[in-house]
Structure 1
Amino acid sequence: MTRSTRTTRWSAILRTPLGASAVILLGLVLAMAVVAPILWGDEASAVDTDAIMQGPSSAHPLGTDALGRDILYRVLVATRLSVGLALAATAIGVTLGTILGAAPSVLPRRAGRLVTSGVNIAVAFPGLLLALFFAVIFGVGTTGAVLAIGLATAPGFARLTQTLAASVAGRDYIAAARVAGVGRVRVLFRHVLPNIGEPLVVNATIGAGTALLAFAGLSFLGIGVQAPSYDWGRLLGESLNRIYTNPAAALAPGVAVVVAGLAFNLFGETVAAVVGQRTRSEKFRDVPRTRAAVAPEPVEAGVVDDAPVLQVENLRVAFPAGDGWTTPVRGVSFSLRPGEVVGVVGESGSGKSLTALAVSRLIEAPGAVTADRLDFAGVPLLTTDERALRSLLGTSLAMVFQDPMTSFNPTRRIGGQLAEVAVQHQGMNRRTAMARAVDRLRAVRVPAAERRAHQYPHEFSGGMRQRAMIGMGLMGSPRLVVADEPTTALDVTVQKQVLQLLEQVRAETQAAILLISHDITVVSQTCERILVMYAGRIVEDLPARDLFARARHPYTRALLSVVPDLESDRDQPLGVIPGRPPEPGRVPHGCAFADRCPRATEQCRTDDPELREGIACWHPVTELPVPVVAEAARGEVVRSE
C-alpha cells in the first residue's frame, strides 16, 4: 500500500461516523491530558476552607471536596495522570507479551515449550486477579500499580502473538527466507511480526482502555495512586460516600473513565480499518539508475563439473503420531547432475512436496529427517551445522513454491525481498543489492523492472509473482532449483511461460532442476527424467522420452490412462484410478499399490518390492497397449496441454 493509498483510506474512514467519532473523542481526551494541568492545575489544588463539601453551584459546577477544592477542575487535571499511567502499563504489557509470544520462534525447542506453558498457565487466571496479585508483590503506589497492570495484561498479548505467529509460520515466504539463510531472529522481525502487526496494534489500543479501567479500579481500592497525587479512580473513591448528597461528584470521574476507554476502543477499530495488512517496514526504498557492478558469472555449458549436485539415498521423513511415528516418505533415493531436469509426479499425498522440503532443510521438529546420504554440492545436509549451511543454501539453492501469492511477504516490496538475499550472503550494501534485484527482475522478463521493484506482491499478477520468485533464486548462483508445483495456480499460457523461464535458467546457469507436479504431461514435456512416487516411495524411474511408450509400473500406466487427449470421447466421464492411496500411517506390509492394481498377486500383498533397474514392482507391465505402440512407432504420441 503506497503512502497516497493509505492517506486516501484514512480520509475515507474519517468521513464515516465511527472514524470521525473515534478520532474526535481520542483527540479531546489527549488534548485534555496535555492542557488541563497547565490551565487549571492551580485551581484544582487550591484549598478553600470556606467552601468545604459544597454541592454544585455556579462557582463549582460539580461541588467541592473535603478541603474545598473544585471537583470539576480535579477531574479535568486528573486526565493526564490517568491516561499516562494507562498508556505506560499498556506499553509494558504489549512489549513483554510480544517478547514472550515471539520467544518460541527463536528459542530452542525445550525452552520455547517452557515459555509457552508458562503463558498458558498465566492466561488461565483472570486479569484483575493477576493485577491484584502483582500489586501485593510490588507494593502500594503508582509504580507498583503500573507494573501490576502491565504484567497482568502481558499473558493475553503473548497468547495472541503466539497464535498469530503460528498462522504465518508455515507460509511459503517464511520457507523462502529460511532457504535464503535468513536467521530466526531476522525472520521474526522482518517477516513474521510485520504480518501480524495489525491485530497487535488494534489490541494494544483496546488494551489501553482496559488498562485505564483497571488502574481506576486499583486506585479506587486504595492500592493505586496515593495522595497527594490523584487520578480518576482515587477521585471516585473519595466521592463515593457522598453519592446520595452530591451524586455529580462521584459520577464525574466514572464518566471520564468510560469516555476515555470508549475513545481508545473506537480508535482501535478505526486503526483496524485503515492499517489492513500493510506496514512501512520496507527499508529498500531507492532504486538506483545503475545496474549492479558485479554479478555472478553463469556457468558455461561443457565445462561443468559432472559430479552430482544432489545425492539422496534412503531418505525418510517421519512425524510423531498418537501411537508412534507416521512415515509419509519411505526410503527415497535419487541423484541430480548439473543441468539435469528431473520431474517428480504422483497423486496428492504421495510424498512429493515433503521430499522437496526435506532436501531443502525445511522440515523442523517434531518432524524427523533421516537418510543414508543427503548431500548437496558435496556437503552433507544432515550432519552439517545449520549456521554453516546458510551461505550455501542461500546462494546455491532456489525454491519456487506452488502458490505465488504466498511466496512473498505481503508487507514488503518485491525488490526489497530479492535484495535481502544479496545483503545476507554476498556482502552487498542495500543500494547495490537493490540494483542486483532490479537486474534479476529484468532477467526473468518482468516488464518495467525498476518500477515493479517498488511494488508489493498483491500488485503483481500470478505469473509475474512466479517470475519474481525465480528471480529471487537467481540472486545468487543457483546450482539446484526446486520447483514445487510452480504452475498449478496459473493458466495454461502462463504455465508455458514459467516452464520456458525455468528452461532458460537451466540453459544459462547449468542448474539442476527438481520439478514437482501432479500433471504428468507437463513433466514429460519439460524433464529429462521422471520419478513416479506412490505412498512415499519412488516406484518407477525412467527417461521422459520413454514415459508413454515404455512405462512398466501399473501405477504409471494408470496415471497415463486417465490423462485426456484430443481424441478422448467427450460424452464419456473422465478416467479415474479406482480406490484411494493408503494413509501415511496405514501403509500395508506389501506393495502399497496392491489394493488398486489389477495385476496384484498374493506376493504383492505380503512383500514390498524394492526399486531395481528403475522399477519397484513384482509384476511389471511387459505388453504395451496397441494405440500407444502404434503412436510411438510413428513418433506421434499425443500429449494434452
Structure 2
Amino acid sequence: MSYACRLRHALRTPVGLTALAGVLALALVALLGPVVLGPTAERVDTGAILQGPAAAHLLGTDNLGRDIAARVVVATRLTLGLTLAATAIGVLGALLLGVAPAVLDRRAGRVVTAAVGVLISFPGLLFVLFLATVFGVGASGAVLAVGLAMVPPGARLVQNLTASVAGSEYVAAARILGVGRLRMITRHLLPNIAEPCLLFAAQAAAGTLVAFSGLSFLGLGVQAPAYDWGRLLDDQLDRLYLNPVAALAPGAAVVLTGVVFALVGEVLAQAARPARPTAGGTAAAPGPAPRPARPDGTLLQMHDLRVSFPDGRRPVRGASLSVREGEAIGLVGESGSGKSLTAQAVAGLVPSPGLVEAGTLRFEGRDLLAERPRGTALAMVFQDPMASLNPALSVGRQLSEVVEVHERAARSVAWVRAVDRLRAVRIPDAAHRARQRPHAYSGGMRQRAVIGMGLMGTPRLIIADEPTTALDVTVQRQVLDLLGEVRRESGAALLLISHDLAIVAGVCERVLVMYAGRIVEDLPVADLAGRAAHPYTRALIGAVPTLTTDRDRELATIPGRPPEPDDTHPGCPFAARCAHADDRCRTDAPELVPHGTAARVACWHPLTPAAPGSGNPIPEVRDASTTEEATA
C-alpha cells in the first residue's frame, strides 16, 4: 500500500477527520480573514474605546476602539506563516545534522555529534532568548531564533533514529551497490524514520507557535503596527480582570492551533508507519555483458586477513582462502569463529570501528583494501532476509535500484528487469509481487527475493551468509536448489557460510573449516567424512548424528569453549580442547600447509584417514571420561 493510500485511510479515522477539519478551518481563516475582516480590524473608533463584549464587538475593543475579535482572526495568517517558517528551518536543520554522522566519514561524523551534544546542553528558553538578541528584535530575527533553537534537540533525535537504521543489512547492501549519499538519505534512511520524525515535526510546530507567541509577548517578536497572537495577548494583558475574554482569546487560539498541529502529526505518522511483518509476463531487459575470466581463474584471493577492534578483540586472525571462477566453497565452524566477519571484510561491511588488514585481499584483481568491489560483481545474501530488505520500499523498487545506480538505466527498464529476476527466482505472480513490501512475503520468498537482488547484475561471486537459517526443511531445500540453479546459469562462484555440515556437503565442492578466526583445514567435500585431518574438523563431524547413530549413546560434544576474541595466548587455538596437543601446540601456532594431494591443514599432528566403513569419526577430545578410559 502506497503512502497516499495509507494517508487516505488515516484521514477516515476520527483523529484524521478532526485533524482535516482543523486544518481546513485554519486555512480558511488565514486566507479569508484579512480579506473579509481586515478593514474592521484596522478601523479606529474613538467612541468605542475599551468596550466590553457586545453584539457589535463580540470580544470588545482595544484602546483605539478596534474590534478585538477581528484582529484575532486577521492575526491568524501572520502567526501561522511565521510559525511554519520557523518550523521549516528547525526541521531541515535537524535532518541535515541528524543524518550527517551516518553518511560522512568517521571523524567528521564525530565532530557533528559532539557539536550537537554541546548545543543541546543549553536550556531551550535561554537559547531562544540568546538567539533573539543576536538576530535582533523583529519578526525575522524571531523566526531565525526559534527555528535554530529547535535544531539541536531535533538533530539528536534524528541521530539516534538514524544510528538504529544505519546498521541494518539493507543499508549495508545499498553501500555495496555504491548508492550515493543523497540517495542513501532519501531512499534508505529517512523513509524508515519518517514516523517519529513527523511526530517530532508536529510537536515542534506546536512548540514553535508557543515560543514565537512568547517572543512577541515579550516585545522581541512581531513589532507594531503588525500583530500576531502573542502581540495581541500582550496588548490585552492589562485588562485581564476587566475583560478576560479579550485577553484569553489569543491564548485560546494558540492552544487550539497547537492541538491541530499535534493531530496532523499523528495522522501523518500513522500513514508513514510501515506495515508490521506477518508470518507467512514482460520481456526482460538485457543485462550487462558477461566479463571475461581472469587468466589464472582466481576470482577472490585472501591471505592473512585480520579484523580487529580498538577494545583488543581480534575475531579474525590471519585467515587465508582463495575462490576460483565458478567454484562453490563452504565455510564452516562454530558460532563466533569469524565466518561472517570474513565475508563482511570481503564486501567492505565490517562495522565501525573495526579495522581490516591483510597481506592480500583482491577481488577480480582489485585491491579491496583500497577500493570496494563493484556492486554488480559481488552479490551478498544475508542471514535474515527481512533485515536485508528495506521495509519502507517495495521489493521491486529495491531490486531496480541496482541497475539504476550502476548502469544508469531508466526506471522503467530497471523495473522490467526486477520483475524478470523475481520470476527467475520462482516468485509467483512476479509483476504483482514486485509492488508489494517485504512484510507481504513469506520467509522463503524474502530469501529468494534477496537472491534475485544479487542477480540484477551479473555476479561473479555470491556470498551466502547462512541463507537457510530459521527456514523449515522444505524451504531450505528450495533455497539451496535455487542457489545451484543460479550458479549453473550465471557461472558465479559461491562462498556459502554455514554451521550445518550436511548443507555444505550437499552444495559445495570444497570445505574450509574456521576456528578462532583462522582457517584450520581446507579439503574437498568428498574427503570430509573419511579424510579430515584436523582434530577440530573430526570433532565437528562426530557431533553430527546420522541415521546409523546409536540412539542409546549420548551425542558427541566438544568440551570447553573456543578462545575469546581478545585471547592473546600463543600456539594452536584448539590446543586447550584437543586430545593430541603437546607443548609445541601450546607455544607455536601451525600454518595452513598442504596435506595429501588436495587438502591443507593447520595442525602439528594431523590425523590419519578414518577406516573405510567406520562412518562419522568420533571426536578425540580431552575430558575426564577420555582420561579414565585411557588409564583403564
Q: Which runs of 5+ in 2 are unaligned?
A: 276-280, 595-599, 618-632
Measured in 2, the distance between the counterparts of 1:167 and 1:3 equals 22
How far 1:29 sits from its partner (Å)?
2.9
> Which residue is 1:292 aligned to?
284
Contact 2:62 2:68 in 1 (8 A): yes
* TM-score in terms of structure 1 length: 0.90
- Is the Cα contact below 8 Å between 1:318 and 1:329 reproduced in 2? yes
The answer on 1:601 being equivalent to 2:582 is: yes
Do the aligned partners of 1:299 and 1:509 also contact (CA within 8 Å) in 2?
Answer: no
CA distance in 1, matches of 2:380, 2:336: 20
2:7–2:268 Cα contact (<8 Å) kept: no
Match of 1:355 among 312, 319, 342: 342
The aligned counterpart of 1:29 is 26
Of residues 497-506 and 267-276 in structure 1, the stretch that sits farther from structure 2 once superposed is 267-276
C-alpha distance 3-163 of structure 1, shift in aligned 2 (>3 A): closer
Preserved CA contact (<8 Å) 1:312 1:375: yes
User: Secondary structure of the equivalent of 1:478?
Assistant: coil
Kindly provide the CA deviation profile for residues 181-233 of structure 1, in whole angstroms up to 9, marking residues without a partner as x.
22233222221122112211121111110100000110111000111111111
CA distance in 1, matches of 2:396, 2:263: 36
Structure 2: distance between partners of 1:572 and 1:125:
68
Which shifted more, 332-341 or 537-546?
537-546
The letter of the residue matching 1:506 is R
**SS in structure 2 at match of 1:363:** coil
Instruction: Determine the structure 2 residue equivalent to 1:501.
Output: 482
Structure 2: how far apart are the matches of 1:184 and 1:598?
53
CA contact under 8 A between 1:352 and 1:516: conserved in structure 2?
yes
AA in 2 matched with 1:292: A
Structure 1 residues 66 and 632, CA, compared in 2 at 3 Å: closer, same or farther?
Answer: closer
User: In 2 relative to 1, CA 332–320 (structure 1 residues): closer, same or farther, beyond 3 Å?
Assistant: same
Distance across 1 between alignment mates of 2:375 and 2:116: 35
The amino acid of 1:621's aligned partner reads L
SS in 2 for 1:399: strand
Matched, 1:630 2:627: no
Where in structure 1 are there 5+ consecutive unaligned residues?
279-288, 634-641
Residue aligning to 2:306: 316
Distance of aligned partners of 1:149 and 1:622 in 2 relative to their CA distance in 1, 3 Å threshold:
same
Q: Is the CA contact (8 Å cut-off) linking 1:140 and 1:223 kept in structure 2?
A: yes
2:103 equivalent to 1:103: no
Select the residue among 143, 160, 171 that pairs with 1:146.
143
Instruction: Quote the Cα distance in structure 2 between the aligned partners of 1:538 and 1:38.
Output: 80
Name the % identity: 57
Tell me the distance in 2 between the aligned counterparts of 1:249 and 1:574: 85
Q: Does 1:368 find its partner at 2:355?
A: yes
Cα offset for 1:104? 2.1
User: How far does the alpha carbon of each residue in 1:274-309 deviate from its partner, in whole angstroms, 9 at most, with x for none?
Assistant: 32127xxxxxxxxxx642353346689xx9855200
Give the AA of the match of 1:370.
Answer: E
Match of 2:214 in 1: 217
CA distance in 2, matches of 1:441, 1:470: 9
Structure 2 counterpart of 1:134? 131
User: Paired residue for 1:619?
Assistant: 605
> Does the CA-based 8 Å contact 1:105-1:184 persist in structure 2?
no
> 2:150 matched to 1:160?
no
1:184-203 map, 5 Å: 184-203=181-200
Shift of 1:152: 0.3
Distance 2:192 2:299 in 1: 35
Q: Structure 2: how far apart are the matches of 1:8 and 1:100?
A: 32
CA distance in 1, matches of 2:616, 2:468: 28
- Of the three residues 241, 244, 248, the one matched with 1:244 is 241
Moved more, 135-144 or 588-597: 588-597
Which runs of structure 2 are paired with 1:49-198 in the superposition (5 Å)? 49-198=46-195
2: CA distance between counterparts of 1:306 and 1:462? 39
- Equivalent AA in structure 1 for residue 447 of structure 2: Q
2:3–2:271 CA contact under 8 A, matched in 1: no
Instruction: Give runs of aligned pairs for residues 240-279 of structure 1, distance below 5 A.
Output: 240-277=237-274
* Alignment match, 2:9: 9
Amino acid aligned to 2:454: G
Instruction: Give the structure 1 partner of residue 625 of structure 2.
Output: none
Alpha-carbon contact 1:305-1:338 (below 8 Å) kept: no
CA distance in 1, matches of 2:507, 2:476: 11
Amino acid at match of 1:507: R
- Greater displacement, 110-119 / 338-347: 110-119
Report the residue type matching 1:557 in the other structure: R
- The change in CA–CA distance for 1:152 and 1:438 in structure 2 (over 3 A counts) is same
How far apart, CA to CA, are the structure 2 residues paired with 1:144 and 1:7?
A: 35
Q: For residue 418 of structure 1, what is the amino acid of its counterpart?
A: L
Between the aligned partners of 1:144 and 1:249, the Cα distance in structure 2 is 28
Instruction: Give the Cα separation in 2 of the matches to 1:297 and 1:478.
Output: 11
Q: Name which of structure 1's ranges 142-151 and 20-29 shifts more when overlaid on structure 2.
A: 20-29
Which residue number corresponds to residue 492 of structure 1?
473
Contact 2:400 2:418 in 1 (8 A): yes
Contact between 1:345 and 1:352, CA under 8 Å: does it hold in 2?
Answer: yes
Alignment of 1:540-619 (within 5 A): 540-568=521-549, 575-613=556-594, 614-619=600-605
- Per-residue CA deviation, residues 239-265 of structure 1 (Å, 9 max, x unaligned), is 111112222222111111111112211
Give TM-score scaled by structure 2 length. 0.91
Which aligned pairs between 1:351-430 and structure 2 lie closer than 5 A? 351-363=338-350, 365-383=352-370, 386=371, 389=372, 393-430=374-411
* Contact residue 318 and residue 327 of structure 1 kept, 8 A: yes
Partner Cα separation in structure 2 for residue 573 and residue 31 of structure 1: 80
Matched, 1:481 2:465: no
Report the 3-state secondary structure (helix = DSSP H, G, I; strand = E; otherwise coil) of the residue aligned with 2:376.
helix
In structure 2, distance between residues paired with 1:571 and 1:239? 92
Deviation string, structure 1 residues 518-541 (Cα, Å, up to 9, x no partner): 112211211111111111111111
How many residue pairs get aligned? The number is 607
1:376/1:119 CA distance change after superposition, 3 Å: same
**In structure 2, the residue corresponding to 1:262 is in which secondary structure?**
helix
Counterpart in the other structure of 1:283: none
Does 1:228 find its partner at 2:225?
A: yes
SS at match of 1:320: coil
CA distance in 1, matches of 2:153, 2:3: 32
Compared with structure 1, are the counterparts of its residues 293 and 269 closer, same or farther at alpha carbon in structure 2 (3 Å cutoff)?
Answer: closer
How many angstroms apart in 2 are the aligned matches of 1:244 and 1:438?
72
Mapped partners of 1:490, 1:437: distance in 2: 24
- CA displacement 1:350-402 (0-9 Å, x = unmatched): 1101100111122265221111111111111113xx4xx5xx52121111111
**Corresponding residue number in structure 2 for 1:282:** none
**Alpha-carbon deviation of 1:573?**
6.4
Whether the 8 Å CA contact 2:531–2:609 is kept in 1: the answer is: no
TM-fit CA distance, 1:271: 2.5
C-alpha deviation, 1:630, in angstroms: 2.9
Of 332-341 and 420-429, more deviation after overlay is shown by 420-429
**SS across alignment from 2:458:** coil
> Could you tell me how far apart the structure 1 residues matched to 2:429 and 2:518 are?
44
Tell me the distance in 2 between the aligned counterparts of 1:497 and 1:73. 72
Q: Show CA shifts across 1:320-344 (max 9, x none).
A: 11xxx32111101110101110111
Shift in Å, 1:570:
5.7
CA offsets, 1:113-135, max 9 Å, x none? 21111111111112222111111
Distance in 1 separating the partners of 2:270 and 2:177: 34
How many Å separate the matches in 1 of 2:477 and 2:338? 25
Partner secondary structure for residue 223 of structure 2: coil
Query: Match of 1:285?
Result: none
- Give the aligned residue type for 1:346: G
